Amino acid sequence: MEGDCLSCMKYLMFLFNFFIFLGGACLMGVGIWVIVDPTGFREIVAANPLLFTGAYIMLAMGAMLFLLGFLGCCGAIRENKCLLLFFFMFILLIFLAELSAAILAFIFRENLTREFFTKELKKHYLRNNDTDVFSSTWNSVMITFACCGVNGPEDFEAVPHLPHSSLEKATPEACCQRELQSREGMFINKEACLTGVERFQNRQGCYTVILNSFETYVYLAGALAIGVLAIELFAMIFAMCLFRGIQ
């Protein structure tokens, strides 16, 4: 009976580690996509050091889970106590790091509100100054998502004009409609847009556009994170039970 229980535990351990292996492969895939994606998202990430670092952290975490899933599968099938102990300790460290990150994300969630982004935009945005990381990032976001400001063009009324600008309106070039939503895309009517003709402007705020674009993926990412934590927890339990059961 004990041998059957140990054999069942071994194959359950293998199954959970196989899912960890797949989860690590998925994280690696997302990390690589964010870093090399040619459609404009890479430009946004590269302009923001925090996002750029986050992409590499995701890639590293994926590689680590990929490796540990592989080690867990080998340790379970071969009933190797050294591999199982190594696997348990590293999965525990990753589990605690992910749990800490989730808690910090919940604590600082107020930094992702519409009001926070509006305040930061009005405070730091320097219009078409692409040498400024903050402004360049915002311009890339507005061009890529065909949006304007956080709430709309009215966000830029409090933003200082460029010294050489003689235009009456505050709309930046990044809010003007283009034939193709990229920096290389031709303006439909740049002069009319900058002088306040609304039909040549992107009127919708980026907060709403991006939220609608990624809403499905945010819930999917949250569900995936909960699933990964649950799988890691069960994998640790099975690893320790299998470790104790091996003679």
Lowest-confidence range among 36-50, 92-106, 207-221? 36-50
The tens digit of pLDDT for each residue in 157-182 reads 766 555 544 444 568 888 999 887 77
Average pLDDT over residues 64-91: 82
Residue 74 has pLDDT above 80, yes or no: yes
- Please compute, for residue 41, the number of CA atoms within 13 A of its CA located in the half-sphere on the CB side: 11
Q: Please list, in sequence order, all residues whose beta carbon lies within 8 angstroms of the beta carbon of residue 212, skipping any fewer than 6 positions away.
A: none
Average pLDDT score over the chain: 78
CA-to-CA distance for 191 and 223, rounded, in angstroms? 46
What was the pLDDT predicted at 148?
92
What was the pLDDT predicted at 167?
46
Residue 31 has pLDDT above 70, yes or no: yes
Average pLDDT over residues 41-70: 70
What was the pLDDT predicted at 121?
85
What was the pLDDT predicted at 128?
73
Using left for φ > 0, alpha for ψ between -120 and 50, and beta otherwise, residue 152 falls in left
Of all residues in the chain, what percent carry a pLDDT higher than 70?
81
The tens digit of pLDDT for each residue in 105-161 reads 777 766 667 888 888 888 888 877 767 788 888 888 898 888 998 998 888 876 655
Residue 206 has pLDDT above 70, yes or no: yes
Query: Can you give the pTM of this predicted structure?
Result: 0.54
Residue 50 has pLDDT above 60, yes or no: no
